[in-house]
Amino acid sequence: MNATGFMDFFTQNGYFIDRAVFPADLIQDLKAGLDRAIRAEAAYKAPESDHDPLQVMCCPFHDDIFLELLARDEIINRVEALLDRHCIVYTFTNSSMSPGQGNFSSRIHVDRHHMTGDYQEGVGLMVLLDDFTEQNGATWYLPGSQHQQEAPSEADFYARSLRLVAPAGTVFYFHPRLWHAGGENHTGTQRDAVLLGFSRAHVKQRLNLPKLLKGHSHRYNNQRVLQKLGFQAEPPQSLEEFYQASAQSYSLRMNRTD
């Protein structure tokens, strides 16, 4: 679907599905990277905490493979059409379900609590790393509900919602105010997806990605990826930076190692 058709559909329905966008080899690499990230991030969680044991709060902190998603025009062009070219990553996490249960998403909810009217402040993306089926917890979503302030009743929601039944490699774009809910995984295999949230550049990120990732062992060789991570959205940290031309200022911030 062309850009105009995509925008019209998303504006009316609050979601859009691009099926099987990414090849199997990239999905396998992302799946392996997510497994490593889940195991690595477990060390940060206190044993008695109520954090989801499978949730990763910053996927690219653990593995470079996730940066591939930010380098893909298939994703970024659609995000920029909804927001603008200055938009940045707000959150870069995952949704994984253990066999025999749901997860933090298995409730009727929205990802942004305040209404923004016709102003598109952000957009969410779910990149499926496994086939989503009714048996393994495929997401429920209520088309057009992004304009609905109050949560629908369970009966109304499940009567009118659709299921995200789609193959691995699919990208599900959704309005942060779209009412949705994860299912429950009734299979014997873990089900994975990567979750990306994008916002306008003036919105503060959930985690300070430039600070978190700076000096880490990641390969920063793509200026568009750097921009999407927020390296060009950092406020000047000195008067000298403020008074320099913007392009030079951005360059300084992207290459600063202190």
Task: Kindly report, residue by residue over 219-248, the tens digit of the pLDDT.
Answer: 567 889 999 999 888 777 777 776 764 544
Task: Kindly report, residue by residue over 182-196, the tens digit of the pLDDT.
Answer: 999 999 999 999 999
Query: Are 206 and 135 a contacting pair, CB within 8 Å?
Result: no
- Cα–Cα distance for residue pair 12/237, rounded to 1 Å: 41
- Average pLDDT (94-108) is 93
- Cα–Cα distance for residue pair 133/190, rounded to 1 Å: 12
Query: Are 127 and 17 a contacting pair, CB within 8 Å?
Result: no
Amino acid identity, position 84: D
Q: Which one is predicted more confidently, 128 or 243? A: 128
Q: What's this model's pTM, rounded to 2 decimal places? A: 0.89
Confidence (pLDDT) at 238: 78
Task: Kindly report, residue by residue over 25-76, the tens digit of the pLDDT.
Answer: 999 999 999 999 999 999 998 887 788 899 999 999 999 999 999 999 999 9
- The structural domains of the chain, ordered by start, are 3-255 (2.60.120.620)
Mean pLDDT, all residues of the chain: 90
